[in-house]
Amino acid sequence: MNERVLRIEGLSARVDEIEILHRIDLEIRPGEVHAVMGPNGSGKSTLSHVLMGRPGYEVTEGSVTLDGIDLLNLPTWERARAGLFLALQHPTEVPGVSLESVVTESARAAGRSTEGVNEVLVAEATRIGFDDRFLSRPVNVDLSGGEKKRNEALMMGALRPKYAVLDEIDSGLDVDALAAASRRIQEATDEDDLGVLAITHFSRLLEVLEPDQVHVLARGRIHTSGGPELAERLEAEGYVGVLGETGTPVDLPTGIIHQAGFGDDPFVDPLA
């Protein structure tokens, strides 16, 4: 049997001819929580998009394997089927498609039973204190920022992936919703052996969700890794305290930074 681990080795990637990620190494095992923290523009979302296979990102070296499966050669849906889940920093609105259809079709694609999806969704909504009237709405349409984040947490709970990459799942959540969502993620690590890569700016997500390791990303590189105390140090000293002068984003030619589409809708090719 293959070793169970989401293994990122020497991963470098570029967007639009510019190298954004440099030789990233990370190993996430079932049940573990790894936090990736870093200033704006350090490459956190780029890492999440490269892992999930968003178009427009070119991997220049390195590999990503999920329990022995080479992910980089697979289209996004097959990565999902292999057990990878991504909660987007900016969740996409999908008019005309309900959450129930998304979860039903995902289960079907994975060869799982599609019975009782509605019951699962209602149970998941209850667990994170999310109003189940949102369940019948088209995915994320007209939801507030915080409601979209809860929806991502709910989908993660219902789809039961092996590994979840959560890109700023805490942003826009009020204190109660944050506590409920982080508790749900923590429970998934215990109940389902979920491996978590939690991208966040703030250590408050890590008050309930207990990281095994914290990695600080700066200018597309893992600058420092440590235990939970590293998140506390970041809280106390800020990125400047931990990173010094390297805390600033990669230098990019003017005009590229604000390129439309980046970081938002995953169905839009950022280079189109």
Q: Which of 12, 42, 45, 140 binds Mg ion (CB under 5 A)?
A: 45
Nearer to ligand ADP (CB atom), residue 189 or residue 200:
200
CB of 251 to Mg ion, least distance (A): 18
Tokens of 215: 């990695």
Nearer to Mg ion (CB atom), residue 45 or residue 106:
45
CB of 187 to ligand ADP, least distance (A): 26
CB of 157 to Mg ion, least distance (A): 23
| Distance from the first to the final alpha carbon of the chain | 41
Residue 268 engages ligand ADP in binding (rule: CB under 6 A):
no
C-alpha to C-alpha distance for 88 and 266, rounded to whole angstroms: 9
Please tell me whether residue 34 adopts helix, strand or coil conformation. strand
Residue 48 engages Mg ion in binding (rule: CB under 5 A):
no
C-alpha to C-alpha distance for 257 and 222, rounded to whole angstroms: 21
Residue 15 engages ligand ADP in binding (rule: CB under 6 A):
yes
CB of 252 to ligand ADP, least distance (A): 5
Nearer to Mg ion (CB atom), residue 171 or residue 246:
171
C-alpha to C-alpha distance for 163 and 193, rounded to whole angstroms: 9
Nearer to Mg ion (CB atom), residue 158 or residue 234:
234
User: Which residues, 6+ apart, have CB-to-CB distance to 136 below 8 Å?
Assistant: 98, 100
C-alpha to C-alpha distance for 131 and 171, rounded to whole angstroms: 19
Residue 38 engages ligand ADP in binding (rule: CB under 6 A):
yes
Q: Which helix (H) or strand (E) holds 167?
A: strand 163-167
User: Which residues, 6+ apart, have CB-to-CB distance to 17 below 8 Å?
Assistant: none
Alpha helices in 128-209 (DSSP H): 145-159, 175-191
Residue 157 engages ligand ADP in binding (rule: CB under 6 A):
no
- Tokens 């390129």 belong to which residue? 259
CB of 90 to Mg ion, least distance (A): 9
Q: Which of 102, 143, 179, 252 binds ligand ADP (CB under 6 A)?
A: 252
Residues 72-131 that bind Mg ion (CB under 5 A): 89
Q: Which of 43, 62, 83, 161 binds ligand ADP (CB under 6 A)?
A: 43
CB of 89 to Mg ion, least distance (A): 5
Residue 46 engages ligand ADP in binding (rule: CB under 6 A):
yes
C-alpha to C-alpha distance for 129 and 175, rounded to whole angstroms: 12
Q: Which residues bind Mg ion (CB under 5 A)?
A: 44-45, 89
